[in-house]
Amino acid sequence: MTEKTILEIAGLYKRFGAFTALHSIDLEVYEGEFLTIVGPSGSGKTTLIRLFVGMDEPTDGTIWLRGRRIDTVPANQRPTCMVFQSLALFPHMTVGRNIEFPLKISGVDAATRRQRALDLLDLLHLPREYYDKRIHQCSGGERQRVALARALAFDPEILFFDEPLSALDYRLRKTLEKELKDLHARTGKTFVYITHSLEEAMVMSDRIAIMRAGRFEQIGPADEIYSRPASRFVAEFMGEVNLFPVQADDDGAVRADGLALDPGVAERLGLKAGAAGMLMVRPENVTMVNGSGAAEPGPAPEITVGGHLRAEYNLGSRLQYEVEGPSGQRLTVETLREGRFGGSPGDAVTLGWTLDRCHLIHGE
């Protein structure tokens, strides 16, 4: 699959005094995709998006939009648009006038403006009566939709989002996440979304870019980021994870503390002689058996580790177990409710998984 690039960023730097907020950012955004930039607060993601829409100027580097250099173009002349974290709706205007604002600026006549605003209300599942409502009469979710409608009325080449859902309660957020994804599919526009919430990113995105301290750690499809993280940071950022240090001696023999590897598995790990790495396995890919290990349904584990059960937590749809590993580390196992493990705290347990369910992170 060859994607067409719509936005190309090369060697982007942003410094505030002695502090470097963005460190040589390179990024390609593809036509029509939903790209989410995820990072903890302070990772520079808001700074980055402000450079994209022109609210700030880069210290160095270039931004190209469909072959046109835009990093020197002022915000009001860029064909991009952003949905703010605060939404930034105009409190002195009605819903209708908010949505019509970009059309009014570009000189569209009143009748066409009104029709377009009503169409957008339909698109965002808002009743047409909202046209004359005032912003402060709208609920949080409704304001969200008005902000989206206003941005869509601008008809931007790329629509940027700066954590617009972060202020909403959990259920509304979940609903709007799905609506956003649906809206993306229906409009066919390119969406670039920033958030600190991994869940949000996973639900909506085609691709995810993980940001840390002003650099990208990894960019790729959501599945790849989740199951094949490029670094320990990404692995841990993307949810609960079990990590085991592994090392290959110069003669190729693999040492992995506490892990029992089936014959032939060590060679298939892909660890080069003399190199070190981290073996990563997600809690839901681990099966747990009592003591020496009674037969479990499914494929036989190829890698096992012993430990002691510490606690059981009820997560609603799933159950989580905390297990103390051989060197005292905290390991996590998750199963569906139906797969409840009958043991009690203190029991000796064996955790196991197959080679294709774990991933080797090189380095460290």
Partner 1 sequence: MERLDRRLGALTATPMLVLLAVTFLAPLIVVAAFSVMPSKVFSLWHQPDFSAYAELLRQGYWKSLAWSLGMALASTAILLVLCWPLAFAMAKVYRRFTLILTVGVVMSLFVSENIRLFGWVLTLMKGGLIEGYVRHLTGVGFDSLLYNVPIIVFGLVYVYLPFMLFPLAQGISMVPDDARQAAADLGASRARILWEVEVPLAAPGIVVGCLLTFVLATGAVAESKLLGGQVVVVIADEVETAFTYGQDWPLGSALAMVLIAIVGTIAVIGVNRVDLDAIMGRRR
Residues that bind partner 1 (CB under 8 A): 53-55, 74-77, 80-82, 84, 86, 88-92, 101-102, 104-106, 136, 150-151, 154
Q: Which residues contact 192 (CB under 8 A, 6 or more apart)?
A: 7, 29, 35, 36, 37, 49, 52, 158, 159, 160, 161
Rounded-to-integer distance, Cα 5 and Cα 154, Å: 21
Q: Which amino acid is present at 42?
A: G
**Smaller CB separation from partner 1, 74 or 339:** 74
**Smaller CB separation from partner 1, 142 or 217:** 142
**Smaller CB separation from partner 1, 72 or 106:** 106
Shortest Å, Cβ 126 to partner 1: 19
How many CA within 13 A on the CB side of residue 301? 23
Shortest Å, Cβ 82 to partner 1: 6
Contact present, 203 and 180 (Cβ < 8 Å): no
**Smaller CB separation from partner 1, 4 or 92:** 92
**Smaller CB separation from partner 1, 115 or 137:** 137
Shortest Å, Cβ 152 to partner 1: 11
**Smaller CB separation from partner 1, 134 or 181:** 134
Distances (CA, A) of 335 to 261, 303, 312, 322, 332: 23, 18, 11, 12, 10
Helix (H) or strand (E) holding 153: helix 140-153
Shortest Å, Cβ 269 to partner 1: 49
Q: What are phi and psi of 73, to 5 degrees?
A: -85, 130
Helix (H) or strand (E) holding 323: strand 318-324
178: left (phi over 0), alpha (psi -120 to 50) or beta: alpha
Rounded-to-integer distance, Cα 162 and Cα 184, Å: 16
Contact present, 323 and 310 (Cβ < 8 Å): yes
Shortest Å, Cβ 102 to partner 1: 4
Shortest Å, Cβ 92 to partner 1: 5
What 3-state DSSP class applies to 215? strand
Shortest Å, Cβ 84 to partner 1: 5
**Smaller CB separation from partner 1, 14 or 150:** 150
